[in-house]
Structure 1
Amino acid sequence: MIKVIIADDQKILAEGIKTVLETSKEIQVTDIACDGEDCLLKIAANRPDVALLDIRMPNMNGVIATREIKREYPQVKVVILTTFDDSDYILDAINYGASGYLLKDINASSLIDAVINAYRGELILPTNIAKKITAAAKMVTAGKEIRLKKAFQLSDRETEIAMMVSENFNNRQISSALDISEGTVRNYISGIYIKLGAANRAQAKEIIEKAVKSGE
């Protein structure tokens, strides 16, 4: 059973989310918190597996709460569930360790799947959010991409995909963000493995991370 805490200052919305999640036999909502500070206290008491956080809450917002949760309870998966798709919020939450970022117009089955997949370690990002992250990330990763490209003689597209692999994007998310088929993504990743001398995704990620940090 996946234990979930919901943090949202709008109690009626939190109760609605609880009702949706508990239609799944795999999920139990253990607590509802009214803000980030309350969420931290309840996590300390009950140690949930997944925390669903709104962004804009009094006392401590969802982004800061994400930072504090991941610092104190790194095993807890944090998913942001909000009405805002602002790139700064998205990047800050992901950088602090959030496992995903969802908009509240998500349907019930997709929300349940997102919680389960986050618990399993997947990065949860809808297509439109993934594209925003890709666009924003390009502005801050140019130097890293240059180092990676030169180190392994990667093409521009291979470099772009390699960077996304290092950020835990799965093939479906890469496909959606770059508007190419999953088969094409797999072909690119196979070529990247060869150039990196990697046997699998985990090894490729480790090699990429070392390469992009080498010039820092």
Structure 2
Amino acid sequence: MIQVLIADDQTLMRDGLKTILELEPDIAVTGLAADGEEACAICDTRKPDVVLMDIRMPVMDGVAATAAIKKRHPSIAVLVLTTFDDDESIVQALKNGAIGYLLKDIEADRLIQTVRDAAQGQFTWPAMLAAKLTKHLCANVPALSGRLAALTGRERDVANLLAGGYTNRRIAQMLYLSEGTVKNHVSSIYSKLGIYDRTAAALALRRALDK
């Protein structure tokens, strides 16, 4: 069962998301929060698998709450959900550890699937936002075309999954490796590519590998 926390300052939005998610047999809403501080407190006690986090909330906004939750509970997947197509907030939330970013006009079926993907450790970058993220996060990233050749075969396997937005834990499961081995491969990939931010690396690799 996927345990989900919904953090949004609008009661109608919280209740609506709860209704949609709880129609699914494999998803349960474990808590509702009206601001970032409340979301952090619920995460401390209930440790949900996934948090749906609004960006603009009183007391503590979703960007700051994401950073606090990921610092204390790295295994919790945070999905930023907002009505604002705000470049700066997108970048900061991802840098703070969010596993994905969704706009609130997303269709219910897509929302449910994204929650399931997040619980499995898969990043979500909507196509409409990918170009903006790449522009902001990869502005100072070196060209990768020549650097990819320096990767070993196993590093290339890891890089492909990293580009797909998977976490180290999920990559380890998919490649039948230990999480520590995957972490070492990722560190080597960073060194060879000259990129040390996971989100920037994933976006840059996706762009380079698609060519």
Question: What's the TM-score, normalizing by structure 1?
Answer: 0.72
* Aligned: 1:207 with 2:201: no
Contact 1:81/1:101, CA 8 A, preserved across alignment: yes
Report which of the two has the higher share of helix: 1
When the two structures are aligned, how many residues end up with a matched partner?
173
Residue type of the partner of 1:135? K
- Work out the percentage of aligned pairs sharing the same amino acid: 39
Residue type of the partner of 1:7? A
Matches of 2:74 and 2:148, distance apart in 1: 33
Aligned pairs for 1:14-29 (under 5 A) are: 14-29=14-29
Q: Any stretches of 5+ residues in structure 1 without a counterpart?
A: 155-161, 172-200
* Pairwise CA distance, 1:207: 3.1
* Pairwise CA distance, 1:203: 7.7
* Aligned: 1:44 with 2:25: no
Residue 178 of structure 1 is matched in structure 2 by: none
Residue 175 of structure 1 is matched in structure 2 by: none
Matches of 2:148 and 2:44, distance apart in 1: 45
- What's the secondary structure of 1:60's corresponding residue? coil
Residue type of the partner of 1:140? N
Task: Sort the Cα spacing of 1:35 and 1:214 in 2 relative to 1 into closer, same or farther, 3 A.
Answer: closer
Structure of higher CA gyration radius: 1
Matches of 2:130 and 2:31, distance apart in 1: 29
Listed one character per residue, the Cα deviations across residues 169-205 of structure 1 (whole Å, up to 9, x for unaligned) are 319xxxxxxxxxxxxxxxxxxxxxxxxxxxxx98864
Contact 1:4/1:50, CA 8 A, preserved across alignment: yes
Listed one character per residue, the Cα deviations across residues 105-131 of structure 1 (whole Å, up to 9, x for unaligned) are 000010000000011010011101112
Q: Any stretches of 5+ residues in structure 2 without a counterpart?
A: 151-155, 166-181, 197-211
Residue 170 of structure 2 is matched in structure 1 by: none
Contact 2:147/2:193, CA 8 A, preserved across alignment: no
Residue 103 of structure 1 is matched in structure 2 by: 103
Residue 59 of structure 1 is matched in structure 2 by: 59
Residue 35 of structure 1 is matched in structure 2 by: 35
Residue 168 of structure 1 is matched in structure 2 by: 162
* Pairwise CA distance, 1:96: 1.0
Residue type of the partner of 1:92? Q
Contact 1:85/1:103, CA 8 A, preserved across alignment: yes
Residue 127 of structure 1 is matched in structure 2 by: 127
* Pairwise CA distance, 1:138: 2.7
Contact 1:123/1:169, CA 8 A, preserved across alignment: no
Listed one character per residue, the Cα deviations across residues 10-66 of structure 1 (whole Å, up to 9, x for unaligned) are 011110011111111111001100000000111111111111100000011011001
Contact 2:8/2:53, CA 8 A, preserved across alignment: yes
Matches of 1:152 and 1:131, distance apart in 2: 21
- What's the secondary structure of 1:168's corresponding residue? helix
Task: Sort the Cα spacing of 1:63 and 1:167 in 2 relative to 1 into closer, same or farther, 3 A.
Answer: farther
Task: Sort the Cα spacing of 1:168 and 1:40 in 2 relative to 1 into closer, same or farther, 3 A.
Answer: same
Matches of 1:138 and 1:214, distance apart in 2: 9
Matches of 1:17 and 1:151, distance apart in 2: 44
Residue type of the partner of 2:188? I
